[in-house]
Amino acid sequence: MNRERQESLVALCRALAEIEPAALPPPAVAELVVQLAEVVATAQAALVRAIGAAAGSRGAAADAPGTIAGPPPVLGWLARRARLTWAVAAVLLGAARALARLPVLADAFRHGEVGLDHVLAVTVPLTSTPRLIALSGPAEVELTALARQADPAAVRTAVDHWLREADPGGVARDAAAVRHARSLSFLPVPAAGDPGGRVTIAGTVPVDDARTLLDALRLAAPATAGPGDFRSPAQRRADALLTVARCYRATARLTTAARSE
C-alpha cells in the first residue's frame, strides 16, 4: 500500500509539472486555475492530516516506557523533515490538533471544499481546548458553511464575533497580552564592513496599531517621492517613517518655543 501511494504521488507530481498554461486558450486557463486550487486545497488537507498523525506517533514514542532518548521535539522534527520554517510548522501543527476536535470543518477541508486559509481563519484564534469544545457543534457547522462560500477574511471576522460572545473574558485577556507584548528596538549593525553605520529597527504592535502606523506611512509617502522614483516598497516605508518623525519633532519644537514666549 505504501508503494502504491508513493507511486500515485509521484505520478501526480509529474502530471502537475507537465501542465503548461501558456499553451491553453483563456477559458481553459481560467478553468485550470479553479481545478488546481482544489488540488492544492486537497493536498494541504492531506499534509495537515499527516502532520497530525506524525505528531501523535512521535509524542507517543517519546512517552513510551523504557525510552532512553526520546525523539527531538515534534516542531523541530517537522520543520526539518518538511523543510518548513518553525513558524509555518507551528501553524500547521496547531491546525492539525484543532481539526481533531472539529470533524465538520476537517471533512470539508479533506474534500477540498475549503482551503487552508479558511481552516486557519477558524483554528488560529481557538487557542485553548475549551474554545475548541465550545465551537464544535452548531457553531462549527455554521462557520464551515460560511467557509465554503466566503473568503478567509470573512470567516475570521465571523470567528472573532463568535469568540467575543462565547469567551469575552478570554478575548479581553488576549488583547491585554498582545498589548503588553508591544515593543520597539534599535539594534546597531556591527561596524565592520559598514563604515556608514546602520541600525535595524524591530518592533511588535497590536494589529490595530499596525494599521494606524501603515495609514500614517501611506499619507507621508508622497512627500518623499520624486521623479524617477526607483525605491523599493521597504525603502519608501523607511523614508515615510522618517518624514513622520521629523514632522512631529518640528511641531514639538515650535510648540515648545511658543509656550516659552
Residues 101 and 33 in one domain: yes
Assign 1 to helix, strand or coil. Answer: coil
Q: State percent of the chain over pLDDT 70.
A: 91
**Could you report the per-residue pLDDT of 144-193, keeping only the tens digit for each?**
999 999 999 999 999 999 999 998 988 888 888 888 989 999 888 776 66
Domain that residue 160 falls in: 2-61+72-180
Does 193 share its domain with 166?
no
* pLDDT of 256: 81
Same domain, 37 and 95: yes
Residues 234 and 119 in one domain: no
The reply to whether 261 falls in a domain is no
Global pTM value = 0.69
Mean pLDDT of 208-235: 86
Q: What is the pLDDT of residues 67-80, one digit of tens each?
A: 333 334 788 888 88
SS3 for 109-172 is HHCCCCCHHHHHHHHCCCCCHHHHHHHCCHHHHHHHHHHHHCCHHHHHHHHHHHHHHHCHHHHH
Q: How many domains does the chain have?
A: 2
Q: With respect to residue 67, please indicate whether it lies within any of the assigned structural domains.
A: no
Q: Which of 180, 213, 232 is the last residue of a domain?
A: 180
Residues 154 and 189 in one domain: no
